[in-house]
Amino acid sequence: MNTLTLILFLSLQALLILTAPTDHKVQMEYSDEFYYHENFTFNFSYDDYPAMCEKADVRSFAGVFLPVVYSLCLIIGLAGNALVVAVYVYYKRLKTMTDVFLTHLAVADLLLLSTLPFWAFDAARGWILGKELCKIVSSCYTLNFTCCMLLLACISIDRYLALTKLQGSDNSGCLRNFNRKNCCKVCIVVWATAFLLGLPDLMLSEVRHAGNRSFCIAAFSSMGRAGKTAIEMVEVVLGFLIPLLIMMVCYCKVGFMLGKLPSQSKSKRWKAVRVLLIIVAVFVITQLPYNVLKVYRTMDNIYNMVIHCETSKVLDRAGQVTESLALTHCCINPILYTFVGSSFRKKLMKAAKRFGEKRRRRQRTEEVEMSFNSHSESQQTDSFSI
């Protein structure tokens, strides 16, 4: 009986390989690529025969969960980041590199948030906007997501260099050119790096049909298993590991230097340290689960670790939840990097004060005009009665 089972298992595998159009693993890559968009996926198990994996429940979960989360991120993120851009545009002057990076960060967050309505509709009803817009939205999402992470690393470097400059330390090495004069060049490098990471989505994204619905996905299977793995690992390294490493090194050095300050400024020192700890903790909490799952899926693409349907479904739902958690950083960025900073709060208060004064001045002008008009009307009425 075991021999017959083994023969049947090998026969079915051979049949799948012979009917595959390109490579020997097309069915497994098909399921990884579409995960919850496909009606059926083949998951090879060593315990039984290849089983059909129906993922309608995963698609139903995505159709409810993702639109709700994306809508909340869009509303909160648009309000915070638009306020940041409005304040800096109002003053029309960016004094420090951190101001420049914060402005670019807010713009990148806004561009990233602008793609969420498309993905929310895609999860709920499917993609109906055509292939060209699918490519643009996919690449814009990856580009701005990576750009946000790299800009956070630049902000941490600038804060470290600003503190070393206040203490009279001399910056040497590659960080010597990291100054206000070269700020524009640094931003160009950041955006160019993010654009390069968005190119695969721009070239390979396409609209696929599953049942009676269409979905916008990045068809990395055309690059082969090695190409797909390389792209995903580069995204993890540049979009998470390098920014995390830079933030931890810079903020650890900043905390060490703050610890050397005189005891008179102890309260301010620990307040600054708490802010730094919160920044790193929020980054790790929001980004680590998503990138760990991304690495696990990459390893599965190489070593075929997922062999059960239920495990695949759990990973699909986990991917939706962790990616949504990573997107919440767009909403938290304005709070962590602008509203917490005293300089931005002062600018915001001055802008609000000026806006209030202009509004009160306008109201007084309207009241004077109304009283003048009413007085003129009363004089006309009195003269008529006489």
Average pLDDT over residues 93-106: 84
Q: Assess if residue 221 is contained within a domain.
A: yes
Total structural domains in the chain?
Answer: 1
- Max CA-CA distance within the chain? 120
Average pLDDT over residues 131-155: 92
| Amino acid in the structure at residue 233 | M
Q: What CA–CA distances, in Å, run from 203 to 214, 270, 363? A: 18, 48, 55
Q: What is the pLDDT of residue 343?
A: 66
What's the pTM? 0.77
DSSP 31-75: HHHHGGGSSEEEE--SSSS-EEEE-HHHHHHHHHHHHHHHHHHHH
Q: What is the pLDDT of residue 182?
A: 87
Residue appearing with tokens 């654009």: 195
Q: Assess if residue 207 is contained within a domain.
A: yes
d(CA 354, CA 361) in angstroms, rounded, equals: 10
Q: What is the pLDDT of residue 199?
A: 92
User: Which band of pLDDT confidence, cut at 50, 70 and 90, is reported for residue 114?
Assistant: very high
Average pLDDT over residues 286-304: 89
Q: What is the pLDDT of residue 4?
A: 42
Average pLDDT over residues 196-225: 85
Q: What is the pLDDT of residue 259?
A: 75
Q: What is the pLDDT of residue 266?
A: 61
Given a contact cutoff of 8 angstroms between Cβ atoms, the answer to whether 197 and 146 are in contact is yes
- Residues of the domain holding 244: 53-350
Q: What is the pLDDT of residue 339?
A: 65
CB atoms inside a 10 Å sphere around CB 85: 16
CATH number for position 339: 1.20.1070.10
Q: Assess if residue 385 is contained within a domain.
A: no
* DSSP H or E run through 374: helix 342-385
Whether 362 shows a pLDDT value over 80: the answer reads no
Q: Assess if residue 360 is contained within a domain.
A: no
Q: Tens of pLDDT along 317-360?
A: 999 999 999 999 988 888 887 766 666 677 777 777 777 777 77
Whether 365 shows a pLDDT value over 50: the answer reads yes
More confident residue, 305 or 155: 155
Backbone angles phi, psi at 93, to 5 degrees: -155, 125
Average pLDDT over residues 141-159: 91
Q: Assess if residue 149 is contained within a domain.
A: yes
More confident residue, 364 or 157: 157
Whether 117 shows a pLDDT value over 80: the answer reads yes
Q: What is the pLDDT of residue 244?
A: 92
Q: Assess if residue 46 is contained within a domain.
A: no
In this structure, of 40-54, 227-241, 250-264, the range with the lowest mean pLDDT score is 40-54
Average pLDDT over residues 27-52: 43
Mean pLDDT across the chain: 77
Average pLDDT over residues 152-157: 90
User: Which band of pLDDT confidence, cut at 50, 70 and 90, is reported for residue 384?
Assistant: very low
Total residue count of the chain as it appears in this document? 386
Q: Assess if residue 12 is contained within a domain.
A: no
Q: Tens of pLDDT along 231-249?
A: 889 989 998 999 999 999 9
Q: What is the pLDDT of residue 350?
A: 76
Q: Assess if residue 47 is contained within a domain.
A: no
User: Which band of pLDDT confidence, cut at 50, 70 and 90, is reported for residue 120?
Assistant: very high
Average pLDDT over residues 28-45: 42
Whether 127 shows a pLDDT value over 60: the answer reads yes
Whether 42 shows a pLDDT value over 80: the answer reads no
Average pLDDT over residues 300-317: 85
User: Which band of pLDDT confidence, cut at 50, 70 and 90, is reported for residue 16?
Assistant: very low
Whether 104 shows a pLDDT value over 80: the answer reads yes
